[in-house]
Homo-oligomer: A and B are copies of this chain.
Amino acid sequence: MTSTVEQRLSQHGQTIPTAPEAVGFYVPVIRTGNLVVTSGQLPMVGKELMFKGKVGKDVHEEVGFHAARMCALNAIAQIKACIGNLDKVTRIVRVEGYVQSADGFHNHAQVINGASELLVQAFGEIGRHTRIAVGANELPLNAAVELVVWAEVSE
C-alpha cells in the first residue's frame, strides 16, 4: 500500500525518487527522538546534478524554483528511507534553503517556495513549516540550491 503522502504526490504528477547517496563522508538522514533530519539535498536525479550555477545569473529564478522542488522530493525520499511509511510524519518542522546567489539576487523566497509548495502538496496542512532562505556565494558541486528538511514523526 502506498502512503497518503505518495497518493497526494501522484495526484500532482510526482513520484518519490530513489534517495540520492551522500556526496561526502556522512549519512543522508537520521532520526533522533521524534525528529528526522536530512543532510543537505541537492537537485540531483540519481548521481547527476541537474541544476548548476548561480541563481539570478546562470540560472533563472523560475528554474531555481524547480531546483528547490527537486531537492524537496529528494528530502522526502530520504525521510521515507528512514521511517518506512511517510504517513508517520506528524509535521514538517523546518526547511533550510540555501540559494547559490548571483550578485544582487534577493528573491530567495520565490526560489525556496518551490520546495515549500511541494511539501504542502505532499503532506497537506501538516506540511506547512518554518523556513530559512539564505544566499551562499558558492555551494557544493556548483549546485544552484541546497535544502534540508526537518520532520516530526510519531512513534
Interface residues of A (CB under 8 A from B): 22-30, 32-35, 37-40, 91, 93-96, 98, 100-110, 112-113, 116-117, 120, 128-142, 146, 148, 152
Contact = CB atoms under 8 A, between A and B. Distances in A.
Contacts of A148: 132
User: Oligomeric state, in number of copies?
Assistant: 3
Given A32-B91, A120-B25, A40 B138 contact: no
A106 B103 CA distance: 17
Contacts of A22: 131
A130 B29 contact: yes
A139 B130 contact: no
Given A106-B138, A108-B139, A133 B24 contact: yes
Contacts of A96: 132
A155 B148 CA distance: 28
Contact of A23 (B29, B109, B128): B109
6 contacts: A27-B129, A30-B93, A30-B94, A132-B146, A134-B136, A135-B139
A106 B142 contact: yes
Nearest to A115: B25
A148 B108 CA distance: 16
A34 B130 CA distance: 16
